[in-house]
Amino acid sequence: MMNAPTVQPPRLAGALGSKALLLLDLVLLVTLLILAAAWLWNPFYLSLGPLRLTIHWGLKPLLAPAVILLARGLLKKGIARRGTLGRGLWETAVFKKIILALCSTYLLVALLELGLAGARFEAELPPIIFQGQNAEGGVEIPRTAPDPALMFRLIPGSYFQGRLINSLGFREREVDPHKQPGTVRVLCMGDSVTGQGRPGYSHYLHQSLLQAPPTPQPWEAFNIGVHGYSALQGLRQFQMLGRQLSPDVVTLYFGWNDHWLSEEADRQKMGLEMRPWAGRIFEILRQKRFFKFFIWAASPVQHLARRSQGQERVLRVPPDEYRSVLKAFIKEIRATGAIPLLITAPRRSLTSAVVGKRYVVSIEEGNRTHDQYIDITRKVAQETGAELLDLAAILAGPECDAYFAPDGIHFDFFMQEGSLAADPPSQPGLMRIAAEIDQRLREMVSSPAWPKKHAADE
């Protein structure tokens, strides 16, 4: 006698079917999450000792959810033939919303990525510096040290243009980074005009403030200017060091190196410091056009990304970015309780030397561009209510021609500073700059902008 086949009760078959559906739904959810990882890590690099594998996913990961959905449909149909109603996560409204949200997000990102690729959108993002780790990078410049965050810096204890670099890394006398209580500190920031001199204009300013302080408190001044620095480098420098120096007034003398032409803009050379986990996420996302686009569209202060300009030489800090950087600079300075003082950079006509270095296309274009950056500085001071010393206007007359070095940029003996056997007895141009800053400071202490904390001490 033959045994009849075992038939599972409908309730038991429904329970098993529901478990199978539940398992497939979980696999579907995990697969959709893995899809994002597969796209972000495409190609995927795997190192196994001496063996290195590169896996290009292509469209293969998209087959997985399709296969799972097909299997689920067949299973659901089989359960229905048995006269039971198997239920998985798919039968709940919450699960459907989660799946729909994931699929909609993926579709939106995919369409955006395809659209940007079709438009040939590209943007360059800066390198990442992981906090707490040694970093390599920067720019190789003679007699300086590469720095991944600032591109380059001066070397303490070395000589640069005939002057010893102090322990802080600047062409300045030794100064105590910790300000003495009650002292009013003026921090002079800028490029080679601020860093130049034997000594620089900050020395003459310091002597004037020391001998006849504008208020009853003792005053001091020193510079942290670096040859070749742009305003963007200065901003990063202030964020890294300037705050620690506790300044009360910060003078900003930039606007030359910002409009020099270079192979890459400064923002593409200066590394961003991030925590390791954030840096790794950034490194993954930076390969995707949609991420570059969002950073470009957001237009952060540093303007980390813009439309690629190919292999053409570009301005180190373009005009719009220069404006944003100055405004950010002012905000950073004010956040420390200090007063920003913007200084326009005066000039005489440029020479063929800067054309030969490919800093400008022509002398006329270089002069015109510099005047544009002077105007930006004036407008930023007006828009932000920052103090302004319009040195470009003050020194515009022919009676001031003798102050300038032959390059039309610097002052006095700049061209010979590295070869002078001794400091010159007089530097009229730098002394005039110091005198103008001194006068502006004395005007500021009697204005409403002067901090109440100083007024209370008087």
**CATH code, domain carrying 438:** 3.40.50.1110
Considering only CA atoms, which of 176, 166, 196, 175 is closest in space to residue 154? 166
Query: Residue 340: what pLDDT?
Result: 97
Q: Does residue 43 lie in a domain region? A: no
Is the same domain home to 292 and 353?
Answer: yes
Q: Does residue 445 lie in a domain region? A: yes
Is the same domain home to 115 and 167?
Answer: no
Query: Residue 358: what pLDDT?
Result: 92
Query: Residue 106: what pLDDT?
Result: 79
pLDDT in tens, the chain (458 residues): 455 455 455 555 557 777 888 888 888 888 888 877 777 777 666 666 666 666 666 666 778 788 888 888 888 787 777 767 778 788 888 988 998 898 888 788 878 878 877 877 766 655 544 434 444 445 556 678 888 888 889 999 999 999 999 999 999 999 999 999 999 999 999 999 999 999 999 999 999 999 999 999 999 999 999 999 999 999 999 999 988 999 999 999 999 999 999 988 888 887 655 555 555 665 666 667 767 676 666 554 444 444 444 447 899 999 999 999 999 999 999 999 999 999 999 999 999 999 999 999 999 999 999 999 999 999 999 999 999 999 999 999 999 999 999 999 999 999 998 888 899 999 999 999 999 999 999 999 988 767 654 544 44
Is the same domain home to 314 and 393?
Answer: yes
Which residues lie below 8 Å from residue 81, measured CB to CB, with a gap of 6+?
none
Structure-token pair, residue 59: 């469209």
Are 260 and 360 contacting, i.e. CB atoms less than 8 angstroms apart? yes
Is the same domain home to 351 and 233?
Answer: yes
Is the same domain home to 101 and 246?
Answer: no
Considering only CA atoms, which of 230, 222, 228 is closest in space to residue 167? 222
Residue 43: cis peptide before it, omega within 30 degrees of 0:
yes
Q: Report d(CA 292, CA 22) in Å as an integer.
A: 39
Q: Does residue 171 lie in a domain region? A: yes
Q: Does residue 373 lie in a domain region? A: yes
3-state per-residue secondary structure call for 98-155: HHHHHHHHHHHHHHHHHHHHHCCCCCCCCCEEECCCCCCCCCCCCCEEEECCCEEEEC
Is the same domain home to 160 and 111?
Answer: no
C-alpha angle 168/239/281, rounded to 5°? Answer: 120
Is the same domain home to 108 and 161?
Answer: no
Q: Does residue 55 lie in a domain region? A: no
Question: Last residue of some domain: 99, 120, 141?
Answer: 120
Is the same domain home to 206 and 135?
Answer: yes
Q: Does residue 51 lie in a domain region? A: no
Considering only CA atoms, which of 237, 231, 186 is closest in space to residue 213? 186
Is the same domain home to 447 and 342?
Answer: yes
Question: Last residue of some domain: 73, 104, 120?
Answer: 120
Is the same domain home to 391 and 429?
Answer: yes
Query: Residue 457: what pLDDT?
Result: 45
Query: Residue 107: what pLDDT?
Result: 83
Structural domain boundaries enclosing 108: 88-120
Considering only CA atoms, which of 236, 193, 238 is closest in space to residue 343? 193
Total domains in the chain come to 2
Cβ burial, residue 435 (10 Å; 0-12/13-18/19+)? middle
Q: Does residue 78 lie in a domain region? A: no
Are 332 and 239 contacting, i.e. CB atoms less than 8 angstroms apart? yes
Structure-token pair, residue 411: 């002052």
Is the same domain home to 397 and 422?
Answer: yes
Q: Does residue 18 lie in a domain region? A: no
Query: Residue 82: what pLDDT?
Result: 73
Are 263 and 198 contacting, i.e. CB atoms less than 8 angstroms apart? no
**Helix (H), strand (E) counts: the chain:** 14, 15
Q: Coil, strand or helix: which one is 452?
A: helix
Considering only CA atoms, which of 158, 157, 177, 153 is closest in space to residue 167? 157
Is the same domain home to 287 and 216?
Answer: yes
Cβ burial, residue 382 (10 Å; 0-12/13-18/19+)? exposed
Query: Residue 44: what pLDDT?
Result: 61
Question: Last residue of some domain: 120, 139, 171?
Answer: 120
- Cα–Cα distances (Å) from 419 to 93, 143, 162, 218, 415, in that order, read 81, 15, 7, 35, 9
Taking the complete model, does pTM exceed 0.85, yes or no?
Answer: no
Structure-token pair, residue 38: 């597969």
Are 237 and 224 contacting, i.e. CB atoms less than 8 angstroms apart? yes
